Structures are given as structure tokens and as C-alpha cells.
Amino acid sequence: MAANLKCAPVLAALLLVAAMVGTTNAGNIAVYWGQNGNEGTLADTCNSGLYAYVILAFLTTFGNGQTPVLNLAGHCDPGSGSCTGLSSDIQTCQSQGIRVLLSIGGATGSYGLSSTDDANSVADYLWNSYLGGSDGSTRPLGAAVLDGVDFDIENGQSAHYDDLANALKGKGSVLLSAAPQCPYPDASLAPALQTGQFDNVWIQFYNNPGCAYANGDDTNLVNAWSTWTSSVTAGSFYLGVPASTQAAGSGYIDPGTLTGTVIPAIQGVGKYGGIMVWNRFYDVQNNYSGQVKGSV
């Protein structure tokens, strides 16, 4: 049936408003890539159409005068220079509007900052080796310029990460993200997150029974989400979830519960940005992001 031509402009405007309202709280998906050689290539990850952010994990050694070490599991060997082959994959991702970040830290590794000067030195290294700087430094990932740096600091040492965040933001256009554990305040990132320098905060709501989803109950998760989003100034907050039961010791939320119960409970609280998924390997195995993408 054809619409009345006189009403068409009004109808079109109403439909536009409805569409805007329906997508206001739509979220993105961020995923960690790099810790399993069987998770597929970086280009395949981006070509899947699932993600807005891909986080390369991890720079496991830095600070305290140490030579930085990039560990991308079985994907490449930075010592031999083979990781420079990822440059074209990074550019493939970025050509699709996907932001690619380097994650520093991780659950294991040798890292820490001894002083403000040390933090500034690490910021210089990251800027010149992975971001937009160029002082003749060797670039482990080749010529591609990453979009930013992710702070996945898990060793309980919080000193001078606020200095590092400030120094990186002072370099220019650098996207900063952080992956704190859900107990507030995070033991490693509390001072850094009070700088207000972080664009995205993907909170790890797993491996922490006191604030993660457990036994069909999302009460602790929702309460922790409210605390985080009201206590930290950041661009957006993401719900960090494991992609399968094998991806974490606890905190797995099945896709139906995530989209039907948990997301609706937090979507209107704080600056909801979407979900972060750990990690691409398990995401491939369980098709987790594929099941939830339309509803996060």
C-alpha cells in the first residue's frame, strides 16, 4: 500500500527518530588476538565483520630498563623480524574502520615502571616503535601505525602507569584503553584510571567470583558495573566476557543470557560501549561474537 504523499515527509522523520532511538545504546565488540597460533590470521579476524577493536596481545616485557619483548605466541617471532609481516594485516583492519591496539602487560610477564622518567621512556618507545613516531627505531610490526595502547596490567604494581597514560596522550592522537579486573578499585590500574585519559575501559568480569556473573545471578555484576561507571571517567565502558567456558576459570555468560538479561540490565547505566571478548581463539571455537553481535 502506498503512503499518502502529504504524510510521507512526516512519516520519514518519525522513522528516522525511531531508528536513532533504537540504535542509541547499540554496542561494539572488542577482541584480544595474538595468544594462540590457531586462532587465524589478523586479517581473517578483521574480515569476519564482528569487531570494532582488535587488541594485539601482548608486550610482556617493558620498563625498569629492560629491553621490551613482544609475545604473539605462534604467529611470528619478533626476534627474527617476522612480525613485520603483520603490517599489511593491520592496514587491512584499519581500512575497514577497525581500531588496532597493542596491549601491554598480561597475566604473566616481566613488566613494571620504576619512576616517572621510566614511564616517559616507555612512552617514547611505544610511540616510536608502534605508534606515530619515527626516530629510527626498529618497528616490530613494520610500517603500520597502530591506533593506540591497551593497559592490561595484572601484577598488582600500580606505580607510574598514570604517568605513562599522561605521557602517551601527550604524544598526539593515541587511543588508550584499559582492562581492569572487576573488583573496584583495580589493584594495578586504579591510579592510571583516575587520570581521565582512557577512551575505553573493558572491565574483566571473569575469574573474579565476587563481581562476575555466577550461578544464574547477575546481581554482583550489575552492582560492580554501576560502581565502575560512576567512579571512573572514561569515554566508554565495555563488559569483558570469556568467549567460552574454556576461556576463563569462571564468569562465562551464555549468549542467550548475555543478550536477554545482562546487557539490558547495564545498557542504560554509565557510558555503555559494548563487550570485550577474551579471546579470538575461543571466539572462533564457540562463535560467541557471531551469536551476540546483533544484540550487544
Domain assignment present for residue 221? The answer is: yes
Domain assignment present for residue 71? The answer is: yes
Angle at 273 between CA 227 and CA 178, to 5 degrees: 65
Query: Residues with Cβ < 8 Å from 19, sequence gap 6 or more?
Result: none
Domain assignment present for residue 61? The answer is: yes
Q: What is the bridge-based pairing of β-strands 175-178 and 148-153?
A: parallel
Domain assignment present for residue 128? The answer is: yes
Say whether 154 is catalytic: yes
182: left (phi over 0), alpha (psi -120 to 50) or beta: alpha
User: Which residue ranges in the chain fall short of pLDDT 50?
Assistant: 1-24
> Is-above-0.75 flag for pTM?
yes
User: Amino acid identity, residue 151?
Assistant: F
Task: Choose among 71, 49, 72, 73: nearest CA to 62.
Answer: 71
User: Amino acid identity, residue 69?
Assistant: V
CATH value at residue 253: 3.20.20.80
Give CA separation, 174 vs 39, 191, 199, 206, in Å.
27, 19, 9, 28
**CA–CA dist 251, 204 (Å, integer):** 9
Domain encompassing residue 222: 26-295
Domain assignment present for residue 77? The answer is: yes
**CA–CA dist 278, 248 (Å, integer):** 8
pLDDT, position 25: 54
pLDDT, position 135: 80
Q: Which of 150, 154, 218, 283 is catalytic?
A: 154
Domain assignment present for residue 13? The answer is: no
Domain assignment present for residue 15? The answer is: no
What's the number of domains the chain is made of?
A: 1
Query: Residues with Cβ < 8 Å from 99, sequence gap 6 or more?
Result: 52, 53, 54, 147, 148, 175
pLDDT, position 17: 36
Domain assignment present for residue 66? The answer is: yes
